[in-house]
Structure 1
């Protein structure tokens, strides 16, 4: 049976096919105003695929990558559904705060390539510079840095993802 394990409280929440599970403040620290009442939605489909969607204006991560958002028809940001797999971690706040582990039937056999957006601080003026990297550049950077540096343990880098696969029609011009 599919479920979500709350590392903070040691509780498990069952995932029922086609019934979204909404996680939020009541599942962690009720006094932490950074966590919304409805922070993230997890949906298990009949075919055993699982999707995660950020509902809050505050950031939420899936395996240390910020869940992407898009503009809706009204011009407001809304979360974009991202497929999630067994043993992936959802953190309600970046910095690995309030961890939840997915226990779902579908295992990620080949990691989904993601297109990260890194913000790096310019040493001269302290401004941030957007740098887009493809998966080969990302892999080289990961090999050069330790895992702690890559995850963003310091405040100088933020990792974000797109749900699109690299090389898909959306990215080719």
Structure 2
């Protein structure tokens, strides 16, 4: 069946209830969500004052945003804490490397001066003699607050000298004391 084409002057077709439709007018159902006959259906509305159907969820987006900011803040604080610990470990490693270099340098000087090796003894917190003064000053410049000790022990049975070098330092006032100790043997 083909629909009939309305000729000019013919009456408009009737809608529900016998009223002619206006061009572009939509017919809405005649029942509301709460069942009041004769009023158009309002989707998404169900409260007694015409509020949105999600009246119990007002401010949820704000709460979610605030929660996301708190979680982000905790994550950033954790990242900053890890970075501070990494910096601290890096500073300790740098001072350990300086202590190793200073010890090796002194062992090299002592092995070149075996004839007067017994003059390289230095008690902890003692004043260095002329042979150790430059090395002690250089080491204390590289490692602030360093406490130096050098012990030379003669081992005639083994035809060698035992050299013990100890360098202690504390990076911060309340941190633990670091100690670098090197034991070396120099042949006669």
Is TM (by shorter chain) over 0.5? Answer: no
Q: Which has the higher contact order (CA 8 A, sep 6+)?
A: 1
Q: Which structure has greater strand proportion?
A: 1
Taking structure 1 as the reference length, the TM-score comes to 0.23
Taking structure 2 as the reference length, the TM-score comes to 0.21
